[in-house]
Amino acid sequence: MAFTIAIDGPAASGKGTIAKAVAAHYGFAHLDTGLLYRAVGARTLDGTDPVAAAEALTARDLEDEALLRTPGVGQAASRVAEIVGVRSALLDFQRAFSRRAGGAVLDGRDIGTVICPDAEAKLFVTASTEIRADRRYRELVSKGAETTFEEVLADVHERDERDSSRSEAPLKPAGDAVLIDTSDLGIEAAIATAIDAIEAARR
Ligand SMILES: Nc1ncnc2c1ncn2[C@@H]1O[C@H](COP(=O)(O)OP(=O)(O)OP(=O)(O)O)[C@@H](O)[C@H]1O
Ligand SMILES: Nc1ccn([C@@H]2O[C@H](COP(=O)(O)O)[C@@H](O)[C@H]2O)c(=O)n1
């Protein structure tokens, strides 16, 4: 039977880490929906029209994760994500994924509110802006990026502002989502808290 877990939250809150672990725990498929917007954003960097890029998106566009995870592409993703035509071009794929018979975990910004409003379990993962920026800064430096904490903080802050204030599918918790603040939780504790919340929803 299909069981859908929707995980939303701001940039670098740890939702992807939790989503991956939860999917492995239950043997469900996982979709990082941010990667779709990043792939569209990356394609627009050469001047390609965002809606045309979203309509033509294929699995190959998702392959170069090193490029897609850069802050520049993250900003481009957040800009194309404001466009209604981009969001509607990506909607059917995400909904079809969420209905996989074996169960599915999707993480993003509008999964619990727009993509899967009937998801069996909904989580909204957050942490303070400084902690999120610090985690992302350490991640980028560990991959060899040359950046500063201040740059990463500004990037996270700008994306959060744009994602929360757009008129179409803004970042916000679904009314029935369980809020998980990971500011004072390590990765294992955050995953265990998420699984406890999902178990409660399964009962
Ligand atoms: N609870 C935690 N404690 C410490 N570090 C964490 C925690 N959760 C995630 N991290 C680390 O923080 C960074 C961001 O986590 P992750 O990629 O899961 O966030 P995200 O919300 O999916 O980000 P994005 O929206 O940008 O895709 C990663 O380096 C991850 O290993
Ligand atoms: N469901 C979603 C997922 C993502 N976005 C936009 O994409 C940007 C990048 O997402 P990450 O999860 O990889 O950080 C993000 O800043 C959003 O603008 C979205 O709108 N909806």
HSE-up (13 A, CA, CB side) for residue 114: 19
- To the question of pTM greater than 0.90 for the whole model, the response is yes
Q: Which pLDDT tens digit goes with each residue over 112-122?
A: 999 999 999 99
What whole-number distance in Å separates Cα of residue 167 and Cα of residue 87? 12
Whether ligand 2 lies within 6 angstroms of the CB of 198 is answered as: no
Write the CB contacts of 128 (distance below 8 Å, at least 6 apart in sequence): 183
Question: Which ligand is closest to the CA of 181, given by its number?
Answer: 1
Q: Where are the domains of the chain?
A: 4-188
| CATH class name, domain 4-188 | alpha beta
Which residues are bridge partners to 181 per DSSP? 126
What is the pLDDT, as a whole number, of residue 184? 97
Confidence of residue 176 (pLDDT cuts 50, 70, 90): very high
* 70 appears as a binding residue in the annotation: no
Closest ligand to 111 CA? 2
